[in-house]
Chain A
Amino acid sequence: MLLDVQDLSVSYDGIQAVRQISFNVKQGERVTIIGANGAGKSSTLKALAGLIKLTQGRIQFNGQTINTVPAYERVALGLCLVPEGRGIFQRMSIEENLWMGAYSRGVKEFNQQVGQVYDIFPRLYERRSQNAGTLSGGEQQMLAIGRALLSQPQLLMLDEPSMGLAPQMVDHLFEVIGKVVSQGVSLLLIEQNAELALHLCDRAYVMDTGEIILSDSAKNCLTHPLVQQAYLG
């Protein structure tokens, strides 16, 4: 088991946003969490990345309980989050942003791997010395994913990568995500676009008001009445 979460709870000022949820991701697996706005999806990922404290529960990564590991040490363990809104450093160049991705690995690793990222995202190479803030939304998402790859993650967590992108761009993005994870990276994906997510992933959890209300294979979810009704329209 790569990631094993037991009874995870998160509250903001005493109000529970995530209520004792348990789920897991196996090595090489692609898992999606879908759910309505405010269901607690982002809060869950932030807790996994260490950005917010959990009020209850246990997170195990590669068999190690990481509850008390600070956020900045989790990257080195192979747990990488591309947050909602992408987390790009607007006032740094594209290449420097990529360099930040390899921050926990080192310059040598960066030099060895950055070529592969540029191969996947040629646009980034063309504009590598420009400020990341000048990229379009889609390009910034590519940068965020490319940067995440440079941290050599075992588990890549993406929080709504399609947000704010044109449909065409979204299709291209999901193609790229599919390519990336086919190289052995496990994926935990949060998406509003349930259809795309379910087609990309192996398994799915459905969240509603802080709880997991359904857990099944992605295939079954696609035909599940609850999912059909609420998320596939």
Chain B
Amino acid sequence: MIFWQQVINGLTLGSIYALVALGYTMVYGIMELINFAHGDVVMVGALIALTLTQWFMQQGLGFPLSLLLASGLSICVCMLLGWVIERVAYRPLRTAPKLAPLITAIGLSLLLQQLAALIWGKSYLPFPGNLEGSSYAWHGIVISSLQLSIFILSLLLMFLLWQLVHHTKLGRAMRSTAQSVPFAQLMGVNTNQVISQTFIIGSALAAVAGVMDVMYYSVGNYTMGFLLGLKAFTAAVLGGIGNLKGAMLGGLLLGVLEALGAGYIGDITHGIMGSNYKDVFAFFVLILVLIFRPNGLLGSNNQEKV
């Protein structure tokens, strides 16, 4: 029973990882850049939603409406943030050596964290409202309505993103830009605009993931984006970075691996390591993938990017 329970918990977490991993993978696919500030966009999205939900509730609105409004605003702010990040930090470095944007990304991540610390302080903030909700039990496996909502909403967003990338004009523009910027331009694609839009879409997904994460753990903090970002990045690498399906699969898989690891690590190590070591699993997985399958599960040398 604990096995299936952990799988359920893992899928919930995993769908959050997947949403964040998609942001990494889209940006990598289109410009071979690892946007290490992406995890901190998730944090910004989470904390804005947290604060605004509280504020709307203080204005007398009900919890569901407050949450909805706060999430909507948080998504908008993150989309703007994603756009600004690309314009200000990455675009000027388009032709610079690869190391330059990477260092910028790390600097940006620290900058966002410090700004968040100034705005929200360094302590853990509780998510307002009662998140208990109802839960469903089935043969001893419990799934809460929050878990169910997270899972279903994530799947829906992933499905929509897939449709967008494969069956719309913007999606084709994105895929052609990912394959070659000059060739895409020859087709009439405004590649700068497409890159901006990629950041905006990725950031919107990050905001949603942030709201989910802060609700799932019911606390938020200015550093929360770091670990989540690193795990989502691991998920993207696990699936094959640059590959959309890979990010989705990698996210879900990592979530499940981590949950199972947390569930069994005590037994395996005879109690030496407890479930508080679960974060180790993500990085264990990262190392294994990098050693044995550096292109990821779905990646090949000629992988389908974006």
Contacts and interface: CB of A to CB of B under 8 A. Distances in A.
Interface in A52-84: 70-73, 75-76, 80-81, 83
A197 to B, nearest CB: 22
Report which residue of B172, B175, B185, B305 has the largest number of chain A beta carbons within 10 angstroms of its beta carbon.
Answer: B185
Interface stretch (A9-17, A87-95, A120-128, A199-207): A87-95
Interface size class of A (residues with CB under 8 A): 20 to 34
Interface of B: 169, 172-173, 175-176, 179-180, 182-191, 302, 304-305
B179 A49 contact: no
Interface of A: 49-51, 70-73, 75-76, 80-81, 83, 87-92, 96, 99-101, 103-104, 107, 133, 147, 151
A69 to B, nearest CB: 12
Report which residue of B175, B176, B304 has the largest number of chain A beta carbons within 10 angstroms of its beta carbon.
Answer: B176
Contacts of B191: 72
A83 B169 contact: no
A178 to B, nearest CB: 23
B186 A71 contact: yes
Contacts of B175: 89, 91-92
A151 B302 contact: no
Given A89-B179, A91-B179, A99-B172, 7 more contacts: A71-B182, A72-B184, A72-B185, A75-B186, A83-B186, A87-B180, A151-B188
B302 A87 contact: no
Contact of B186 (A49, A90, A91, A107): A49
Q: Which 3 A-B pairs have the closest CB atoms?
A: A104-B188, A75-B188, A87-B183
B180 A91 contact: no
Contacts of A133: 302
